[in-house]
Amino acid sequence: MIEVQNVAYTYADGTKAVNDVSMTFPEQGIFAVMGLSGSGKTTLLNCIARFLSPQQGAILLDGQDIQDMKEVDFRQQVGVVFQHLNLFPHLNVLENMMLALERVQGRSKSEAKAEAMDILKRLNIGELAANYPAQVSGGQAQRVAIARGLALKPKFMLLDEPTSALDAATTSDFAQWLRELQEFTSFIIVTHDLPFAEQTADQGVFMAQGQVQEQGRLTEVLQNLDRC
């Protein structure tokens, strides 16, 4: 469980991007952090992923303040896929996945290879193993980036705008695919794409101007938004 408690983040230039935000991400399921562009979603994600330290409040992972955790432990429990994916262009898909298995978890090359191949197959993208990132489509790249994060078997997986490079048709395929991954981990999806959130998430928050505007079961959140 991740608990965000009264978190506020202000950038060096004075922009108050996240302003006293609290929310709880459950152990199971898909959680959506929604909001218009500029509402502070990515900033919040960077706080949860420990790339930014909030000036106020705390973020707890299973009751422990994430600031107190060791880097390697934290990274293996909370995975992130950035909006731009940041796949390594000089490595093929399999090698992209093997790197952390070898260097962070200390697996041997052959172990890492078998493990990575196994995950790719279970995610139905085994045929991409030998391709380089430049050779796969936007939707495939998104899946590969998620697969790469899942290789470390994190408890939580943060996705920033996963549909930004997808068109409508591939988006529903992708939503379907993502729902099947719930057995691996729980997802926190940051998105401004409400139809996509509706297709995937069970619960969510809607942010506006750095604050939580609506919160709860996804259908309720969306209904309340419609009323406004």
Partner 1 sequence: MDVSREIAQRINRESRIVATEWDGILAGLLAEKYDAIIGSMAITPTRQESVDFSTPYYHSGAQLFVHRDNPDKVYSISECNGLRIAVVLGETYQHFLEEKFPDVEVVTLKSAAEIFAMLEQKRITGFVTDRLVGAWQTKEAGRPFVPVGEMLYKERIGIPVRKDNPDLLGQINTALAAMEDDGTMQRIHQRYFGLGKTSSSKLGTMEPSVIATKLLKGFAVSLGIALAALLLGFVLAIPSGLLLTFQRGSLKPLHFLVRGFVDFIRGTPVLIQLLFVWLGLGLSPFPAAILTLGICAMAYMAEVIRAGLMSVDPGQDLGARALGLSPLDRFRFVVWPQAFRIAIPPLMNCVVALLKDTALVSIISIPELIREAQSIISVTFEPGLYYLIAGLMFFAVTFPLMKLSDRVERSIKAKGFAHD
> Is the separation of the CB atoms in 204 and 197 below 8 Å?
yes
Nearer to ligand ADP, 38 or 138 (CB): 38
- Mapped to the 3 state alphabet, what secondary structure does 27-61 carry? CCCEEEEEECCCCCHHHHHHHHCCCCCCCEEEEEE
> Is the separation of the CB atoms in 163 and 171 below 8 Å?
yes
Rule CB under 8 A: which of 56-95 touch partner 1?
A: 71-72, 75-76, 79-82, 84-90
Minimum CB–partner distance for residue 207 and Mg ion (Å): 11
Does residue 164 belong to the site contacting partner 1 (CB under 8 A)?
no
> Is the separation of the CB atoms in 120 and 97 below 8 Å?
yes
* Binding span for partner 1 by CB under 8 A among 1-9, 35-43, 128-136, 177-185: 128-136
**According to CB under 5 A, which one of 39, 42, 96, 191 is a site residue for Mg ion?**
42
Does residue 51 belong to the site contacting ligand ADP (CB under 6 A)?
no
Q: Choose the contact partner of 35 out of partner 1, Mg ion, ligand ADP, none; CB within 5 to 8 A by kind.
A: ligand ADP
Does residue 191 belong to the site contacting ligand ADP (CB under 6 A)?
no
Rule CB under 6 A: which of 156-185 touch ligand ADP?
A: none
